[in-house]
């Protein structure tokens, strides 16, 4: 079971527990343990999300546009040829 499905199942469990007819002290313990499990799963999901985000930032799929010398030479060539300007 994936972590996301476990969160959904625990959420459904939280909705059902009060209507099961278990004694009050047991119900309190069940709800407390379910809450702790949700917190732990939430922390794991957050860690996974941060890990994926850091992996994405390490691998750049594109380079930010910048004005380099080779780019300026290319523009000068276009201007001489009359390609880049209508003047």
Whether pTM exceeds 0.85: no
User: SS3 of 20, please?
Assistant: coil
Residue 50 confidence class, pLDDT cut points 50, 70, 90: confident
CA distances from 16 to 26, 32, 56 (A): 14, 14, 39
Residue 48 confidence class, pLDDT cut points 50, 70, 90: confident
Domain residue limits, the chain: 1-58
């Amino acid at each position: 079971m994936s972590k996301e499905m476990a969160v959904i199942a625990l959420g459904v469990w939280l909705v059902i527990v009060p209507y099961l007819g278990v004694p009050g002290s047991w119900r309190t313990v069940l709800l407390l343990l379910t809450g702790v499990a949700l917190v732990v799963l939430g922390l794991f999901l957050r860690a996974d999300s941060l890990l994926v985000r850091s992996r994405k930032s390490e691998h750049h799929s594109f380079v930010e546009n910048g004005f380099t010398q080779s780019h300026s030479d290319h523009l000068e060539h276009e201007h001489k040829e009359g390609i880049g300007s209508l003047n």
